Every structure is written in structure tokens, then in C-alpha cells.
Chain A
Amino acid sequence: MALLSFFKKKPTKPDSSFAGAQGADRGILIFENTSEVIAAENQLRSQGWRIRVMGPPPEIQRGCDLVIEFPLIEELEILRQLEAVGTPPLEMVPVTGPLLQPVGLFQTVDYGDWLMVRAANMKICIEKGSGVIVNISGGGCPDVPYLAQEMVGKTLSAAPSPRTIGHTLCGYALELAYQELKRQCSAS
């Protein structure tokens, strides 16, 4: 069932330019699932678009959703680019209300020989000396056991990233923790 069916109303289309705040100049791209959101985000970021991955407005929340906020004035060009790579959105609609912010806080726990980073409900832990991922915990979406299966026992550099094999918000949160862990390891 598509997210589209959960719409109760559509706001009217605004006409000002993108400011990235709460003005009536933003639109959201709605996709069938989080995997498509991630693919579209990768594509748009690689092309330099100023976009943000956000939570959907209440009218379309289903349970495990992400949307892409974009400058509404660029609607046609963004649609062309996504269609060209085979990831067109289900719908592009303007938004006027506030969108939910994904978590932006990280928590790091140093266990001596091991280091754990948490983002939202997801945690990833490595052995410092080898860089091997020893555990992945937290979360409740079905890709979490799959991500653990595919990543645990591999080094941070050799493991597939959650962005490439994850499909849900838990997978997305793990990607944030994974990137933060890589950042901390490269900085040390």
C-alpha cells in the first residue's frame, strides 16, 4: 500500500523560494518505501541539490517513513532527474507545517578495547584494535537482524554500509551511527 493512500488533504502550492526553514517554499518527495528515499537522496545529493531527509507530516505517517524535503521551485528539474535514474517519487507536494526532525544526537561509550556509538535507537560497536564490528543492537525494524548478519565480523571499511543494504528508519539510524563511528575512528 502506497504512502499516497494515507493523505487526508493536500496543502496549496506556495510560490516563494526555498529557505530551508518552515516557510511555504518547500515541498516533499514521497516514495513507496525508505529504500527508494535513500536511493533518491543519494542521487540528489550527488547532483548538489539542497535537500533534507525528514519525517513526514502526520497526515501520511504510516510507521516507518522518510520523505525528502526540497526547494519547491526546483520541482520539475528534480522530477526529471529522478525519473531519469528510475526512482520517481509517488508524489511531490508542498508543505507548510513543520516536519519531524530525524535524530541528530550521538552517544559514544568507550569500553576500553571497544567503542560503541548510538544514534536514535541504533547502536554499533567495534573492537578498537582491529576495527571489526562486533555487535549491532537496538532497533525494531526487520532489516536490523539482516544488517547485523551482514556487518558483524567485518571491519568498518569492509562491511557494507547500512545505506546500501538497509531499508528502514532503523537502517537509516544505523547509517548515522556507522558514519559517526567512522568519523571518530578517522579522527583518532
Chain B
Amino acid sequence: MLCIIGTVPDPDFPLVTGPVKMEKGHIVIEGRRVPVNRGTPALLAAALAAAACLQVPPIHAWLVGDIGRGDGSRRLYADMEQRLDRFPWTVLVFHYLQPDVDWHNRVLFAVEEMNKRPVMIADAGFMYAAKMSGQAGAYDLFTPDAGELAFLADETAPHPFYTRGFILHEEGRVPELIKRAYSYENAARRLLVKGETDYLADARGVLETVTEPKSAALEAMGGTGDTLTGLAAALVASSMEVSKAAILAARVNRLAGSLANPTPATQVVEIVERIPEALARLL
């Protein structure tokens, strides 16, 4: 059972946990509707779109409102610390949360208390905290973009904002940065690096790449990384092995993007709508 943990950009959105569904372009949880724009709602929408084509138990979410002040994230962290071990989740995705090393470590301790260790996927702010904590190896999958990979590869940077200039990403240097990230133990067991080429890697190096179809406009679009993580999560929740799920997610995301015929002004919900078709073609 998959649970997706993150924030929505509404300061009044309460702390909620429960099954989530899609309804007319919105995700719905505990009777509350959230538009699919980008961030965790986009990740959820992609996971739900994929789950509709897969044998996946109901997807749950653990959400709170946070517009960057960190107050909502801290309430969510505290709730996870208290209650995480009561749930039967087998796949956890940690997403847009205020990066905070201390809270990250408390959540990791709470995971250790669960009956069975879940598959753990991290992206966005929680991935930043995981790297900075020195606990990246506790995760099964990180889904950085090339810039975030440069941050993982920079052993001194506490946030992508401080990635040193000599290490700043260039698409051609991705294999080198992957190697560097692993050498400093700042990468999860597997990395799915999204970009002009998508790379699946582990500590041995690059395992596989996905280059087609190409849609240059996707880089400018907000939320395409979120959909990729959501796809990978849904596929893992369908009992697919993590590496296989990551590569298939990359292919589906690129195809869904291509089917949307995107421009830099395309909104991510248009890609989400194409996921069932892309998944059906590639399964």
C-alpha cells in the first residue's frame, strides 16, 4: 500500500491522512479538493492516473498546508514521528516538505519502528534533508533532476542553492556526478536522474538510459519531475521491482509528455491526462 507524504500550497489546509482519489482535475482527500498544479498534488495525480491501469491497492496521502513557512511541514513531521508505525504502508514517498535535518532523522527513526521496512522514495525538499543528514543510503530511490544531482554530488552543499560553481550540472557530466554522489554516500540505493536523458543508476554507475521521445519544452514545465516520481511510486506499489519501475516510469513520463504536444506554457495536468494512454502503450 502506497502513501504519498507532502504539502499543498494552502496555509489553511489541515493535516489529513487517508485514501485519495481524482475527481474532475482535482485530487480529493477527506472531502477536500486540491487542484492539480504542481508539487505533491501533481505527484499524487500521476500516481492515481497510473494506478487506474494497474493492480494497486488504494493510494493514501498524508498532507498538510504549507506555503514555505515550514509550520505545516513541522506538524506533519511530528505526526509522522508519532503515528507512522501504526500504518501498514509498504511504499512511502516523501516529497515537498521543508528540508529539516533534525525532523528528517526523527522520521527515519519512526520508519525503523514499522513492522516491515517499506520501500522508500524521496524527492524534492525531503530528499534535500535526506542527503544533508548523511542518511541517503537508507532510501531505495531518489528522483533528482540534473541540478539536484549536482547538489547530491557536492558533499558540502546543504541545499541546491549552494551547489558550488565548479560542480554545477551540465547534461554531459551526469555519469560523473552520479559517481561522485555515491562516492560521498549522498545517493539512495538507486537514482533516477531526469533530464534531456533520463539515467537509472546505482553505486556501480549508470545502469540504463532513456532518451526518447524528446520534448525540449518539458524542462520549462513545472511538475514533470513530480509526475515521474508519482509514476515510479505507483509502479513500485504494483509490486514491480524498483529499478524496473523507475525505467518504465521514465518511459511513460516522456511518452505522456510527448502525447501532450507540449510547449513551455503547457501545464502539468495535460501530461497527467495522457498517462493512461502512455502506460497502456508501454506495459
Contact = CB atoms under 8 A, between A and B. Distances in A.
Q: How big is chain A's contact interface, by range?
A: 35 or more
A173 B159 CA distance: 11
Contact of B37 (A1, A138, A145, A172): A145
Contacts of B72: 142
Given A109-B220, A141-B125, A63 B264 contact: no
Given A63-B99, A63-B125, A168-B68, 17 more contacts: A55-B161, A65-B158, A101-B165, A104-B165, A118-B147, A121-B151, A121-B161, A134-B220, A135-B222, A136-B38, A137-B223, A137-B224, A141-B96, A145-B8, A145-B38, A148-B9, A167-B67
A143 to B, nearest CB: 2
Interface string A105-141: 1000101011010101101010100000011111111
B162 A55 contact: yes
Residue from A101, A113, A125 having most chain B Cβ neighbours under 10 A:
A125
Interface of B: 7-9, 37-41, 66-70, 72-73, 96-102, 104, 123-129, 132, 145, 147-148, 151, 156-165, 168, 216-217, 219-225, 263-267
Given A148-B37, A171-B68, A141 B220 contact: no
A127 B128 contact: no
A151 B118 CA distance: 37
Interface in A54-94: 55-56, 61-65
Residue from B68, B98, B100, B164 having most chain A Cβ neighbours under 10 A:
B68
Contacts, number: 189
B129 A63 contact: yes
Contacts of B217: 111
Contact of B161 (A137, A152, A170): A170
Interface in A32-63: 33, 35, 55-56, 61-63
A123 B38 CA distance: 14
Contact of B160 (A104, A105, A120, A165): A120
Contacts of B127: 140
A100 interface: yes
15 contacts: A35-B68, A63-B104, A64-B100, A64-B125, A111-B216, A111-B220, A116-B220, A123-B220, A125-B264, A142-B9, A143-B67, A144-B39, A168-B98, A170-B160, A170-B161
A14 interface: no
Given A114-B220, A114-B265, A33 B99 contact: no
A167 B125 contact: no
A148 B8 CA distance: 12
B66 A142 contact: yes
Interface in A155-178: 165-173
A164 to B, nearest CB: 12
Contacts of A16: none
Contacts of B104: 63
A145 B9 contact: yes
B159 A64 contact: yes
A146 interface: yes
B124 A140 contact: yes
Q: Give the top 6 A-B pairs by smallest Cβ distance, nearest first.
A: A143-B68, A140-B124, A167-B68, A145-B39, A63-B99, A146-B9
Contacts of A167: 67-70
A4 interface: no
A145 B40 CA distance: 9
A138 B161 contact: no
B96 A138 contact: no
Contacts of B219: 109, 116, 123, 137
A103 interface: yes
A121 B100 CA distance: 18
Contacts of B145: 121, 138
A100 B97 CA distance: 23
